[in-house]
Amino acid sequence: MKVENIIKGKRPEMFETPGVDYLVHMVMVLTQELNVANDQLDTLKRVLVEKEVLGVDELEQFMPDQEALEQRETRRQTMLDTLFAVAYQEAAEIERKDSKQKFHQTIKDIASE
């Protein structure tokens, strides 16, 4: 994830146990990504079968070329960046020595503008 995409200020925590917030975020991101992919795949299969462009067996037997494999890997890396965004955020906060006080001060500064 690019440094300029990281939000400044301490991220609020919903759970007391360390790491649970990360896991909840990751599960939510994965669930969202999986649902979108499943909807798109379902639509594609239905359209292809309905128009008799491909049979169901042909979809299962498809072998992607090198360009397709590279595009898929780029998409996977983008998804992983999204999945681990909270961990990247935490690492950036530690590096900048952010604190809850700094977060609240930022909120106050914004509110007073």
pLDDT of amino acid 36 = 94
Is 1's pLDDT higher than 60? no
Average pLDDT over residues 39-68: 90
| CA 19/CA 25 separation, integer angstroms | 10
What are the pLDDT digits (tens) for 3-43? Answer: 556 666 666 677 778 788 888 888 988 899 899 999 999 99
Sequence length of the chain is 113
pLDDT of amino acid 63 = 92
Q: What's 43's DSSP letter?
A: H
Question: Please, are residues 56 and 45 in contact by the beta-carbon 8 Å criterion?
Answer: yes
Which token pair is 83?
Answer: 């999945």
Other Cβ atoms closer than 10 A to 84: 17
pLDDT of amino acid 5 = 66
